[in-house]
Amino acid sequence: MIELRGEKSVLKFDLHYELNYPVEVIMHNLISHNQLAGWKQSVARLDQTLKHVMEESDLLNDYYNCLIECDDDQATCKRVCRRILQ
């Protein structure tokens, strides 16, 4: 039996046969629990940031749609539509 140890796995070969083929593969968890927890927090922060950006984008779209659909003069339209952004 020969073991080949790599960075992520261990391969075991049985040499009693004419052809060498993997008999068993043992996988190891190379990422620590703390590192995985840190990634989870990063993903949560990214999700919150994306939600915030989408909300701001929706507000800007509503503002520009308001300006486009407004029938009053430009100054009045800007004043009325600016309330959407507040």
Cβ-based neighbour number of residue 73 at 10 Å: 8
In this predicted structure, what is the pLDDT of residue 33? 72
**Pairing relationship of beta strands 9-13 and 22-27 according to DSSP bridges:** antiparallel
User: Which pLDDT tens digits describe the chain residue by residue (86 residues)?
Assistant: 555 565 555 555 555 555 555 555 555 666 677 777 788 888 889 989 999 999 999 999 999 999 999 988 889 999 999 999 88
In this predicted structure, what is the pLDDT of residue 65? 93
Q: What is the SS3 assignment for 65?
A: helix
What's the pTM?
0.52
Q: Report d(CA 72, CA 84) in Å as an integer.
A: 17
